[in-house]
Amino acid sequence: MRPIAGTLPKALVPLAVGAMIAIAPVPQGLAPHAWLYLALFGSLVAFTAYAWLLKRAPISQVVTHQYVNPLVAIVLGAVVLGETFDATTILGGLVVIGAVFATIRSETRAAAPVPPAINEQPRSAPPVRAK
């Protein structure tokens, strides 16, 4: 219900104020192929691989791909669409790569054993009242 509640206002408010929606036409012959590709690789294969990886790796390593996805999109934009990099894009990419590296590195180190708490003291018997 939440996705619908969040999506409907985003779709209906622009229409209510008269905003025009510019959607690039998709050639009719390619539409079924594009849908099939997204259904198979964007959903089925991706979620199956994600579930498989969750069983075999720590969660902090599994979610690092979410940080790298924008970098892949930037590189694909440059390669496919001819977009250019600027200094802030390169700096941001380096920060993301450094953070992912630090996360993976911290997970692969052996965890130090945790010593028992020092403040724990044995409990004494409750005081006895005189009659």
Residue at 78 is within a domain? yes
Number of domains in the chain: 1
Residue at 80 is within a domain? yes
pTM of the model: 0.44
Domain span holding position 67: 58-109
Residue at 43 is within a domain? no
Q: Which residues of 72-82 are buried (b: 16+ CB within 10 A; e: fewer)?
A: eebeeeeeeee
Model confidence over 102-113: pLDDT tens digits?
Answer: 877 776 665 555
How far, in Å, are 1, 8, 25, 90, 115 from residue 12 at the CA level?
Answer: 17, 6, 21, 37, 57
Residue at 27 is within a domain? no
| The pLDDT value given to residue 108 | 63
Model confidence over 10-58: pLDDT tens digits?
Answer: 777 777 776 666 666 666 777 778 788 888 887 888 888 888 988 988 8
Residue at 40 is within a domain? no
